[in-house]
Amino acid sequence: MTPLIAVERLEKTYYHDDIETPALRGVSFTIERGDFVAIMGPSGSGKSTLLHVLGFLEAATAGTYRFDGKAMSDHTPDEIARVRNEKMGFVFQAFNLLPRVSVLENVKLPLLYSRVPERKWNDIATTAIDAVGLSHRTHHEAARLSGGEKQRAAIARALVNNPQVIFADEPTGNLDSKSGAVVMEILRKLNEKEKHTVILITHETYTAENAQRIIRLLDGTIESDEQVARRTTADGFIK
């Protein structure tokens, strides 16, 4: 079966005036459908740049990136936007919610750019909100939520188009340990029960240990890439 994600000798260099700053240097790996992969590394290692390339937010400088069997370079700009909206979900450290808009309206936002009929939007968004245990906050403004609730709303928003892959960029970075554990439990359930592919960017070892595989970056190269045994509690999740 074709891997969901395949990158080969991927490079990304930023240019500012006459200064070149390499962020990725010949990175190669594949990710299968249903995988849960953590990408780790210190600040400046290239992990956020790699997420931006994998999420069709930036183009690589060199190398090949294939998503679902098709090279990113073979997509038109409209196709890139459609793949990003319909096949990818994003969860960011800063939540990126509209503060004066309800949870329901925030979660519905990706559907505005989809081919889903508008009459179905409320039902789809409500199902996603229920999936993250936030139904009691459906009509609350995002500004009135706790940090953990905001991140759960962001996960629900990432789910509404039933994406093939969820990119989570430091999803627990702004949360206390209890809220962070709840968020990671949700991501694990989405991976284990709903079979969503999850790619987690983190610098936290205890967060990365929720994954099945950890790729460690250093100075834009892969330092290690290994399968790991998840630490679990009695209910199957790290707390």
In single-letter form, the type of residue at position 134 comes to L
In single-letter form, the type of residue at position 21 comes to T
- Whether 201 shows a pLDDT value over 50: the answer reads yes
Check: CB of residue 42 under 8 Å from CB of residue 17.
Answer: no
Q: Give the pLDDT of residue 232.
A: 60
Question: Rounded to whole angstroms, how far apart are CA atoms 94 and 151?
Answer: 8
Q: What value does the CA radius of gyration of the chain take, rounded to a whole number of Å?
A: 18
**100, burial (CB in 10 Å: exposed 0-12, middle 13-18, buried 19+):** exposed
User: In the chain, pLDDT over 90 holds for what percent of residues?
Assistant: 87
Question: Rounded to whole angstroms, how far apart are CA atoms 83 and 155?
Answer: 18
Length of the chain: 239
Q: Give the pLDDT of residue 236.
A: 41
Residue 1 pLDDT level (bands cut at 50, 70, 90): confident
Average pLDDT over residues 216-221: 96
Closest CA to 180 of 140, 136, 210: 210
Lowest mean pLDDT among 108-112, 218-222, 227-231: 227-231
pTM exceeding the 0.85 threshold for the entire prediction? yes
User: In the chain, pLDDT over 70 holds for what percent of residues?
Assistant: 96
Residue 65: how many CA atoms within 13 Å on its side-chain side? 23
- Contacts of 102 by beta carbon, 8 Å cutoff, 6+ apart: 138, 139, 140, 141, 142
